[in-house]
Chains A and B, each alone.
Chain A
Amino acid sequence: MKKITSLAAVSAIAMGMASGAQAASATLDAVKEKGFVQCGVSTGLPGFSNPDEKGNWQGMDVDVCRAVAAATLGDASKVKYIPLTAKERFTALQSGEIDVLSRNTTWTQTRDTTLGLNFAGVNYYDGQGFMISKNLGVKSALELDGAAVCIQSGTTTELNLSDYFREHKMSFSPVVFDTSDQTVKGFEAGRCDVLTSDQSQLYALRIKLANPDSAMVLPEVISKEPLGPVVRQGDDLWFNIVKWSLNAMINAEELGLTSANIDKMKESSNPGVRRFVGMEGPKGSGMELSDDWAYQIVKQVGSYGEAFERNVGSGSPLQIDRGVNALWSKGGFLYAPPMR
């Protein structure tokens, strides 16, 4: 797998080698021609994008990539995963190295408006928290004055952390690493007292520790971190495809569709389901997709609920509660526009 550096990306932009976005569907055409979707993922974050022992990528973010592949190519396995550090991710997308970035990336104004990128939605509502070694006896983030904090560079986490400590008139020394693995290693070795990251990541990183019980996650959540897939600006059709692939997963859960029951539900007379599987309604022509694109997503990847339970919820070692990531009808934030 080719690893992109910022430098290579810059020269790619300068030399004009990057696949441009001239035609409305340049990315879709390129994907169809290559026969796979190039998807930027993390370098290894359990529950979101992490290779299993057989080398297959799994996680919430990976399922977005698979949904896009199922919608565009009819086969969820036609994805090429490109692991990127937080620092590399945007240049990789800008230069055309990847078609979609699905790498626990926080949606912010700067990223959405100045980088030439578009966020296609939110697939996980997160917030920043702190993990601390139990034997320090700290119960609240407000007791962290003077602490050394391990942190991954190039993240919104870095900015929130400094805001939080400044607001509470506390000092800290930042110990900055490139990958989350290095960050955990630094925390384990005692280079820092605290590790800060999005809460979901903290649970994921905690199970990576040699002794997970030695660490605890503090109750404070200090920021909003809406995570979602990102595409290049200027290719609206591709933007729509990624946006609606995610929406389809959420709508599927709302309609009660799962990979197990969709074949049976297909026969139902529920108009919402009939529109979903492409027997009625807008189908896929507006996105240059086949009519059963949404059916393929649910059949091969599953609904949002399935993906959640499988990757981070009760079916995973992370055991994260649905919380705000439940459907709007069940007290959460998830609300996809209707498919009609």
Chain B
Amino acid sequence: MPTDVKNGVAPSSKPKFWNDPEKRALLFQILMILTILGFFAYIISNALFNLEKRGITTGFDFLGQAAGFEILLTLIPFDATYSFGRTFIIGLLNTLLVSVLGIILATVIGFIMGIARLSQNWLINKVATAYIEIFRNIPLLLQIFFWYFAVLQPLPSPRQSIEIGSAFLNNRGFYIPWPEFHPAFMFVTIAFAIAVVAVIFLVKWNHKRQDETGQTFPVFRAALALLIGLPLIVYFLAGSPMTWDYPALKGFNFRGGATIIPELMALLIALSVYTGTFIAEIVRSGILAVSKGQSEAAHALGLNNSRTLRLIVVPQAMRVIIPPLTSQYLNLIKNSSLATAIGYPDLVSVFMGTTLNQTGQAIEIIFMTMAVYLTINLLVSLFMNWYNKRMSLVER
């Protein structure tokens, strides 16, 4: 024993540091950190050494070179003369596009189906159950292939397009009319902004009035009228400063308007339908988690059905729903990288695929791609955690 007892008297001095649990823990933590740092230092220096020895060019200079290839879908201007760095942005924006649309769509599908699954109506209930059980249990990649190769590819060719009003659907995509804004449209935008501010004040005023007098005001209908009505009036006053650009068949393909490419449609449908099943189950569990006594108590207080749902059930259910919902959002973003299987030009396909191949800068590009997914997901987590905190039960 290092700290032995002398003459039967317990040592009053400090024990040796390896016998002090706190200091010992600190020592182990320092050792652990040093080991991890050493490990990464070894990996990095080894990689640099090997790259150097094999004559593989390293560094981020390639980001400034001209890309030399075209990309199918670009949200910002791009052609072959732009740089490889620009391809990174293009890929990132395409990933964000499909992720954001996917999250919105999956949430809508999930909430509708989750509530439908609790419905007393036999048909609605069974339809929701069938949807969840089918799409939850088929691998996502197969679903993407299904929508792409089995549903969208067999559509007719551009010359035999299916006509839906002024929109056209064929195996090259969905061609829709797209608005062209004239300078005077700015007034409409301003009117909309004013309407938004007015609605915020309206809501606040209503709260205050309800607190003071107990009377309520039909805020929802008034806000809707304000948000749609005001811009609409300004729109006509400004002389309809907007025209539509219609797609038309010219040469091989449709030109004009906007195109939703089949790769985006297939990926979006597959991602949101697949993730929607999980969200539906999360929503169902969240609603079931609120005890029946809560809504009974609300009814007893004289709240009607919709208010009970809006003020009592949903806020409590959200506490249960949000944390797993966050995971589903993160999964959807990560799953969007399966885009490369059908040629949707997302970050993995454009940057980690084509750009990596044309430049050969594997380490830099894979590092950047991983960093992007990490950053996006951390930001989403951060936001959802903040939202969760806001929604959580305030105990008094």
Q: Which A residues form the contact surface with B (CB < 8 A)?
A: 6-7, 9-10, 13-16, 18, 20-21, 86-87, 90-91, 94, 110-111, 114-116, 136, 144-148, 153-155, 158-159, 161-163, 165-166, 172-178, 182, 185-186, 189-191, 193, 232-234
List 9 A-B residue pairs with CB atoms under 8 Å apart, sorted by A's residue number.
A20-B50, A145-B251, A148-B172, A148-B252, A154-B357, A163-B80, A182-B343, A186-B343, A191-B153
Q: Which residues of B contact A191 (CB under 8 A)?
A: 153, 171-172, 262
Tell me if A21 and B54 are in contact (CB < 8 A). Answer: yes
Selected contact of A154 from candidates B153, B154, B358, CB within 8 Å: B358
Tell me if A116 and B56 are in contact (CB < 8 A). Answer: yes
Tell me if B349 and A10 are in contact (CB < 8 A). Answer: no
Selected contact of A6 from candidates B43, B250, B262, B352, CB within 8 Å: B352
Selected contact of B252 from candidates A6, A147, A154, CB within 8 Å: A147
Tell me if A116 and B358 are in contact (CB < 8 A). Answer: no
Chain A to chain B: the 10 pairs with minimum beta-carbon distance, closest first: A154-B357, A116-B54, A116-B56, A189-B153, A162-B80, A14-B47, A115-B360, A114-B57, A146-B251, A158-B69
Within 48-67 of B, Cβ neighbours of A (below 8 Å) are at 50-51, 53-57
| B34 within 8 A of partner (CB) | no
* Seed contacts A10-B366, A153-B349, A159-B80; 9 additional CB < 8 Å A-B pairs: A13-B362, A14-B44, A14-B363, A16-B50, A20-B50, A21-B54, A87-B356, A178-B341, A193-B253
Chain B interface residue number, banded: 35 or more
Q: Which residues of A contact B56 (CB under 8 A)?
A: 94, 114-116
| B19 within 8 A of partner (CB) | no
Chain A proximity of B2: nearest CB distance (Å): 41
Q: Which residues of A contact B353 (CB under 8 A)?
A: 87, 153-154, 176, 178
Q: Which residues of B contact A153 (CB under 8 A)?
A: 343, 349, 353-354, 357
| B35 within 8 A of partner (CB) | no
Closest to A11 in B: B43
| B71 within 8 A of partner (CB) | yes
Q: Which residues of B contact A20 (CB under 8 A)?
A: 50, 53
Closest to B80 in A: A162
Chain A proximity of B184: nearest CB distance (Å): 31
Binary A-proximity of B16-53 (CB < 8 A = 1, otherwise 0): 00000000000000000000000000011011001101
A145 to B80, CA, bound (A): 16
Tell me if B345 and A176 are in contact (CB < 8 A). Answer: yes
A21 to B98, CA, bound (A): 43
Closest to A18 in B: B50
Q: Which residues of B contact A175 (CB under 8 A)?
A: 72, 343
Chain B proximity of A14: nearest CB distance (Å): 4
| B206 within 8 A of partner (CB) | no
Selected contact of A9 from candidates B68, B255, B343, B362, CB within 8 Å: B362
A111 to B354, CA, bound (A): 14
Chain A proximity of B143: nearest CB distance (Å): 17
| B340 within 8 A of partner (CB) | yes
Tell me if B51 and A174 are in contact (CB < 8 A). Answer: no
A14 to B56, CA, bound (A): 13
Binary A-proximity of B58-92 (CB < 8 A = 1, otherwise 0): 00000000001111100000011100000000000
